[in-house]
Amino acid sequence: MKKLIAVLLAGAMCASLAACGSKAEEPAEAPAETEAPAEAETPVEDDAQEPAEDAEASGSEASGEFTTVTEGVLTMGTNATFPPYEFYDGDVIVGIDAEIAQLLAEKLGLTLEIQDMDFTAIVTSVQAGKIDIGLAGMTVTEERLENVNFTDSYATGVQVIIVKEGSEIASVDDLEGKLIGVQEGTTGHSYCSDDYGEENVVAYANGATAVQNLVSGSVDCVVIDQQPAISFVEANEGLKILDTEYVIEDYAAAISKDNEGLMNALNAALKELIADGSIQEILDKYIKAE
């Protein structure tokens, strides 16, 4: 459980939605110390763009100056293999993150464009300035904070363990020496590698493939975020999620460390959307109360 503490510290800026929404003026940006104040004050006049005048955000902090990769567009990178946060409905990417991003884009007077990519490509694409935000049920971690900033948190994630019904694995304490399936590059991947040894972890391109390999018996369990786990278990016979939670995490949007203007605008928009209940409404739409 040591990892839990590290992650909670990393995500300490906003432990819950309630905390996020309560104080509109509080500077809750955890990674604020990563920018030199002098640089933060420098106006980016050359490529700064005006948010559309008819933005819903008029009169809010969300209409502050910022730049985006493509003018007038909020380009979001995600990995749409992660229901209910992002998944395909036909050939459209839908889900919690897609809907939140849509509202954020509207607040900022931008059009949303979603790019699907490998999960491992999201942070590097943000860093390289190819996309504006990474929104992918992505956990705030110290390691990622070395490369990107994160907005305030908009949801809580929990790493859980999926096993076959009748498995001898009954809790997180039984994972020693077992073969664990994970999605490559996720926190589940790194926690399991650290705690149980890389040789006991098999990384797959996505969670669904990891779960297929559990069904076929190639791995003994799968460690993945709780809500996707619920979807995958619903879609496959003979699986169950263990009651014990492995790690609790904060989800947030990743943004380039060079785009403080966008970071501030998104945090302001996010605060409004949390305060007026819009975010909770989206979460409730996709996440069934237990």
- Which residues are CB-contacts of 65 (< 8 A; sequence separation ≥ 6)? 43, 44, 48, 261
Q: Which one of 68, 151, 187, 264 is in contact with ligand ARG (CB under 6 A)?
A: 187
Residue written as token pair 């203007």: 261
Q: Are 186 and 120 in contact (CB under 8 A)?
A: no
Two structure tokens written together for 77 = 């990178």
In degrees, rounded to 5, the angle at the alpha carbon of residue 44 between the alpha carbons of residues 38 and 46 is: 145
If binding is defined by CB under 6 A, does position 119 make contact with ligand ARG?
A: yes
Q: Which one of 86, 152, 220, 250 is in contact with ligand ARG (CB under 6 A)?
A: 86
Which CB, 179 or 205, lies closer to ligand ARG? Answer: 205
Q: Which one of 31, 51, 84, 157 is in contact with ligand ARG (CB under 6 A)?
A: 157
Q: Which one of 137, 232, 269, 274 is in contact with ligand ARG (CB under 6 A)?
A: 137
H and E: helices and strands count for the chain: 11, 13
If binding is defined by CB under 6 A, does position 279 make contact with ligand ARG?
A: no
If binding is defined by CB under 6 A, does position 138 make contact with ligand ARG?
A: yes
Q: Which one of 29, 99, 220, 225 is in contact with ligand ARG (CB under 6 A)?
A: 225
User: Restricting to residues 10-69, which ones interact with ligand ARG according to CB under 6 A?
Assistant: none
Binding region for ligand ARG (CB under 6 A) out of 11-19, 137-145, 167-175, 252-260: 137-145
Pairing of strands 180-183, 133-134: unpaired
Separation of alpha carbons 56 and 129, rounded Å: 26
If binding is defined by CB under 6 A, does position 227 make contact with ligand ARG?
A: no
If binding is defined by CB under 6 A, does position 95 make contact with ligand ARG?
A: no
Phi and psi at 43, nearest 5°, equal: -70, 140
Provide the 3-class DSSP secondary structure of residue 74. Answer: strand
Two structure tokens written together for 214 = 């559990």
Query: In the bound complex, what is the minimum distance in angstroms from residue 181's beta carbon to ligand ARG?
Result: 14
Binding region for ligand ARG (CB under 6 A) out of 11-19, 131-139, 211-219, 264-272: 131-139
Q: Which of 39, 47, 83, 87 is nearest to 65 (CA)?
A: 47
Length of the chain: 290
Query: In the bound complex, what is the minimum distance in angstroms from residue 202's beta carbon to ligand ARG?
Result: 16
Residues that bind ligand ARG (CB under 6 A): 78-79, 81-82, 85-86, 119, 136-139, 157, 183, 186-187, 225
